[in-house]
């Protein structure tokens, strides 16, 4: 019988973590090899816009439930203010809040902003996860799949190997492209951002927690399941770190305020060396996502970033 998330947490299952340590007597070459071996192979960010905790718990999502049961899940992650889309996804992917990256609303463009970033590359962009990865791991492959046009504005395209935008809330073709990208680059370190806005739009159109909103989450779960099955068939599942991310919740027909329904969201991570079946107890924030990914790849984060690695992931 399928267990609910609530039953899962009542049982309090804890994962185990085994970490090896290198002896100081190893040669520099041996130590380097060990560090390389511990680096993440692949990170897939399964990103859904506008998922509130209540909706996440109410929706029937067996595939996402089963995936997250293999790792660490937070149901108390706070988003940055304002609780709107562009500031929060930018925070996920830059390890920083609006105070640093300067994206304070949904209208940000490279030549149109209210608050300048504290640091910029030569093209005027705040250093993103993709830039830091490319600067420190030249063979890394990066991809960005999305269906809300403004979402890509804060990122310098030169640091992405593939970018795909779909109109009218379409998202399934991007799942197919993401799978093809991971297959083509299976021998390279890979980071994929796979996003859809359709869940947020369902909330705006029909109301958060409406049957239509819940249905949009459940429909996405089916596509997530298909992707996971295909990754298993292709031998891409076991060595992938999966992250489940969202940017804000909602109340009535909108968001942007400071209610808990808007400001507190689910956040999860699954993969090699991540504890299994663990509920995150410590505070967490959307700015921590990019910091965690750099940590997985053993890359030091920029001084301008403010994100931290939650102790619960144990890696």
How many whole angstroms from its chain centre is CA 129? 11
Identify the three-state secondary structure at position 78: strand
Q: Which tens digit of pLDDT belongs to each residue from 247-276?
A: 999 999 999 999 999 999 999 999 999 999
Residues contacting 171, CB < 8 A, separation 6+ = 147, 195, 196, 198, 220, 223
pTM for this model (two decimals):
0.88
Peptide bond connecting 82 to the previous residue in cis, omega within 30 degrees of 0:
yes
Residue 143 reports pLDDT greater than 50 = yes
Q: How far are the Cα atoms of 31, 44, 130, 214 from residue 35, in angstroms, in the given order?
A: 6, 21, 21, 43
Q: Which tens digit of pLDDT belongs to each residue from 83-127?
A: 999 999 999 999 999 999 999 999 999 999 999 999 999 999 999
* Homologous superfamily, domain 46-313: Alkaline Phosphatase, subunit A (3.40.720.10)
- Cα(200)–Cα(196) distance, rounded to whole angstroms? 9
């Amino acid at each position: 019988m399928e267990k609910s998330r609530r039953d899962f947490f009542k049982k309090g299952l804890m994962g185990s973590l085994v970490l090896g340590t290198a002896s100081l007597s190893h040669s520099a070459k041996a130590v380097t090899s060990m560090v390389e071996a511990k680096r993440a192979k692949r990170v897939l960010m399964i990103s859904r816009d506008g998922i509130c905790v209540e909706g996440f718990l109410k929706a029937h999502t067996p595939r996402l439930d089963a995936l997250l049961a293999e790792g660490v899940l937070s149901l108390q992650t706070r988003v940055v203010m304002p609780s709107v889309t562009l500031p929060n996804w930018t925070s996920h992917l830059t390890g920083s809040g609006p105070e640093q990256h300067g994206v304070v609303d949904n209208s940000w463009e490279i030549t149109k902003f209210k608050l300048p970033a504290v640091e910029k590359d030569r093209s005027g962009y705040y250093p993103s996860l993709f830039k830091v990865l490319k600067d420190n791991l030249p063979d890394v492959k990066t991809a960005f799949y999305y269906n809300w046009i403004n979402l890509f504005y804060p990122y310098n395209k030169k640091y992405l190997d593939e970018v795909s935008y779909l109109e009218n809330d379409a998202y399934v073709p991007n799942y197919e492209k993401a799978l093809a990208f991971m297959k083509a680059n299976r021998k390279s370190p890979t980071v994929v951002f796979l996003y859809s806005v359709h869940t947020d739009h369902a909330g705006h159109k029909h109301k958060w927690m409406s049957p239509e909103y819940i249905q949009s989450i459940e429909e996405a779960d089916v596509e997530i399941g298909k992707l996971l099955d295909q990754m298993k068939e292709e031998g891409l599942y076991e060595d992938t770190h999966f992250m489940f991310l969202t940017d804000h919740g909602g109340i009535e027909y909108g968001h942007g305020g400071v209610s808990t329904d808007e400001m507190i969201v689910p956040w999860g991570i699954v993969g090699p060396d991540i504890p299994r079946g663990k509920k995150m107890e410590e505070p967490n924030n959307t700015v921590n996502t990019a910091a965690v990914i750099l940590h997985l790849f053993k890359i030091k984060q920029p001084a301008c970033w403010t994100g931290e690695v939650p102790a619960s992931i144990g890696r």
